[in-house]
Structure 1
């Protein structure tokens, strides 16, 4: 592969974990929950995926462990935020710190394992885009099903209509008989499963091992991608592609012989995330009740 193909392939690989988690975060935010704990879901999913693959001897089974961990974090967050009405931002930040501490404490180096690659004949031979899009680890192709399924769930199903109503105007939704907090909990669980899968993909597909704090703030970049995309699915995925490309350039430019400040390269994806949240959050209107707790009878 030439330099352009290498950079594009790297960008796609780095985008994929973000895309899984961002799909879930988009669903959660459309239901009214700004899920700060997506970082904990991804990091916990990455850790248990490696541990699960070691215990079972199957990297593919490790993906299921990652999904289960994401669901567990989501269940805890949903219980505290939407049953006990604890401040959702406090709950999310606490879970992020807790999972970081637990994974660092429990971390032991284990033999790396990766899921198999799935190379699509003919398409993988296309110039420039072929290796990047059609020569990936097999879980990457799950996005082909998950993205349209997520769009349909939010925009075409009755559940999605009720979830969007819970995120836009929970008081009106409650009057029509919608259980607002139940829909928010369900959206958060979907986010947990997808973010856990994203973290698991990072460890058992992209890297093949676990390192302390290996998500390195990717959960926060996911939140920025949703804001960057104006709370639309295609915009969210475009944000993931942008941040993935920035991360790929950070890794590729020194290898190609370009002498740039390494600290600046490391900071580039996070600077883009900050700029996205600064400019696009004001330009695009999010769900009307995003991040606002709902208590029946209180407006």
Structure 2
């Protein structure tokens, strides 16, 4: 969800950010590295966020300053970060941020411990979701970013710096993508494993498309794909004998099906993925 919120903001501004996988994986690696070096998982979270921002800065400057194809940049960053983290990865200590239980709510049957007795970073979503919605839908910055994604030439005529708004949206995505990877590493898992994001960045892309480029739709997509991933672990534990390979592939098959059926039924930002050069229509 952290990464999907950032990807939604970037895509509404017109950038199809394929490098979200690199942001998440790099954030996961440096979060654990920072936690091991300092003994503080909170410092690790900060390291992960900064790493996501660095990946976003590289992508933004190559795509929106030097006009390098954004898809090529994104895929290159994904492969680069995967290679670097795989080469540098080593056995690390186990670090996790603390759990926080909300009184009364955490005692509810079935959902109590799952929703209200979790790592404290999860609660950041409570503030982040409405803040992201307000930023994009109600602030002047959000209006200009959406204009950059819908009709960049018209936005440019009105005085909006199109590529600047796209870079800023991509930086926000980097911050949240790095946080997503850091949360996975030092809140959910507690350590780093090679390629531990395992394509979740691409699932994020599918969730935004699945949601019709709306925030609530993207979050619903995350819940759906997350449930499919959770069933992969839960069903064998409950004693159901199912094909292991099919269970592993189920979230990605679901993402492909969602994109196949919904990609054309919802209209995304008109200039999504299209580079902007002033004076060229």
Name the SS of the counterpart of 2:264 in structure 1: helix
1:53 aligns with 2:40: no
How far did residue 130 of structure 1 move? Answer: 1.1
1:170 aligns with 2:152: yes
Match of 1:21 in 2: 3
Match of 2:89 in 1: 107
Count of matched residue positions in the alignment of Structure 1 and Structure 2: 281
Name the SS of the counterpart of 2:118 in structure 1: strand
Pick which of 240-249 and 120-129 moved more.
120-129
Counterpart Cα distance in 1 of 2:80 and 2:118: 32
1:36 aligns with 2:3: no
Match of 1:147 in 2: 129
Match of 2:194 in 1: 212
Match of 2:60 in 1: 78
Give the 4+ runs in structure 1 shifted more than 3 A.
none
Match of 1:248 in 2: 230
Counterpart Cα distance in 1 of 2:38 and 2:277: 44
Pick which of 127-136 and 244-253 moved more.
127-136
Name the SS of the counterpart of 1:118 in structure 2: strand
1:231 to 213, 224, 228: 213
How far did residue 108 of structure 1 move? Answer: 1.1
How far did residue 234 of structure 1 move? Answer: 0.4
How far did residue 267 of structure 1 move? Answer: 0.4
Deviations 1:225-277 (A, max 9, x none): 00000000000000000000000001110111100000000000000111111
Counterpart Cα distance in 1 of 2:211 and 2:43: 32
TM-score, normalised relative to structure 2: 0.99
Q: How large is the RMSD of aligned CA atoms in angstroms?
A: 0.5
Match of 2:72 in 1: 90
Deviations 1:167-190 (A, max 9, x none): 000000000000000000000000
Name the SS of the counterpart of 2:100 in structure 1: strand
1:197 aligns with 2:179: yes
Within-5 A mapping of 1:126-145: 126-145=108-127
How far did residue 111 of structure 1 move? Answer: 0.5
Pick which of 220-229 and 273-282 moved more.
273-282
Unaligned runs of 5+ in 1: 1-18
Counterpart Cα distance in 1 of 2:140 and 2:87: 43
Unaligned runs of 5+ in 2: none
Name the SS of the counterpart of 1:287 in structure 2: coil
Match of 1:293 in 2: 275
Counterpart Cα distance in 2 of 1:135 and 1:268: 27
Pick which of 119-128 and 85-94 moved more.
119-128
How far did residue 128 of structure 1 move? Answer: 1.7
Deviations 1:24-62 (A, max 9, x none): 000000000000000000000000000001111100110
Counterpart Cα distance in 2 of 1:173 and 1:276: 32
Counterpart Cα distance in 2 of 1:129 and 1:118: 15
Name the SS of the counterpart of 1:276 in structure 2: helix
